[in-house]
Amino acid sequence: MRRLLVALSRAYAFITIRGYKVWASYRTQVALNVVNWVIPLFIYYFMGVAFHLLKYTPDYLGFITVGIAFQGYFSSAITTLAGRIRNEELIGTLEYYIAAPLSPLSLMAYSSLWGLAINAVPTALTLAVGAALGVRFAVDPLSAAAVLALYIASSLGLNLIAGAVVLIVKQGNPVALFASVASNLLGGTVFPVSALPPWLRYVSYALPLTWGLDGLRAAMLSAAPIPAIAQYIAPLAALAAAYLGVGVALTRYAYYKIMREGTVAMY
């Protein structure tokens, strides 16, 4: 019971104090963030109108709504953790994090919480705007939850990798930036992966986003039950296990490397 209370208290501290209160103290940033959250959906909607895509492929709006909502969740969650670690280095709090009795993995996992929490807002906003623009959702909650859980697990794995890289290289977030940009191009966010040349398609299969978005579209737009989306769930589970495994190993390596080299306080 006490362990649960302590874990909840830590989660509260990371999400509410370190996450929300610090974020909300930059008011201009908050306003710009909110605007940025839904702009992409309007861009693709009006592109669809301009090129008559909505007329010929009426499902396109649903396709891009789910794509943008969850692609943003994926890329933003990753950039948020990497940015967070970088910030702690610059503020000088990273030394105190490492002086605290937390394992490397706990430290990174708690630090990821804010990214996961805050990025749920634009996801929900995008889905709401999509619904207002005419998307008809037909949701199988169990399927959607299963895909989402695996999707978040794989995102967390990439989160850990991005955070570990920042710990080591003391630079922005190259992995996170790559994951963000590549996912836009390769993850099937605004066009189907089948439109890519065959050799590039194989690269996209290594991204959890590709399987996650297809699975979520099936679960949220066609109410597909779990057996019908097994083709997405299986590769997504394998990728989640792989990314989490690499992320955990790299986090431990980075943590002890900076403690050995004495670069914890360096930025």
List contacts with other proteins (CB under 8 A): 2, 5-6, 9-10, 12-13, 17-18, 21-22, 25-26, 91-93, 95-103, 256, 259-262, 264-265
Written as six digits, the tokens of 217 are 């579209």
Distance of closest approach, residue 146 Cβ to other proteins, in angstroms? 32
Distance of closest approach, residue 103 Cβ to other proteins, in angstroms? 7
Helix-helix angle 60-91:27-50, to 10 degrees: 160
| Cα angle 187, 189, 192; round to 5 | 80
By beta-carbon proximity to other proteins, the closer residue of 90 and 234 is 90
Distance of closest approach, residue 22 Cβ to other proteins, in angstroms? 5
Tell me how far the alpha carbon of residue 143 is from its chain's centroid. Answer: 19
* Cβ neighbours of residue 236 closer than 8 Å, sequence gap 6 or more: 147, 150, 151, 154, 208, 211, 212, 215
Contact 66, 213 (CB under 8 A): yes
By beta-carbon proximity to other proteins, the closer residue of 102 and 117 is 102
Distance of closest approach, residue 225 Cβ to other proteins, in angstroms? 41
Q: Which helix (H) or strand (E) holds 199?
A: helix 198-204
By beta-carbon proximity to other proteins, the closer residue of 91 and 200 is 91
By beta-carbon proximity to other proteins, the closer residue of 7 and 124 is 7
Residue type, 138: A
By beta-carbon proximity to other proteins, the closer residue of 100 and 145 is 100
Distance of closest approach, residue 100 Cβ to other proteins, in angstroms? 4
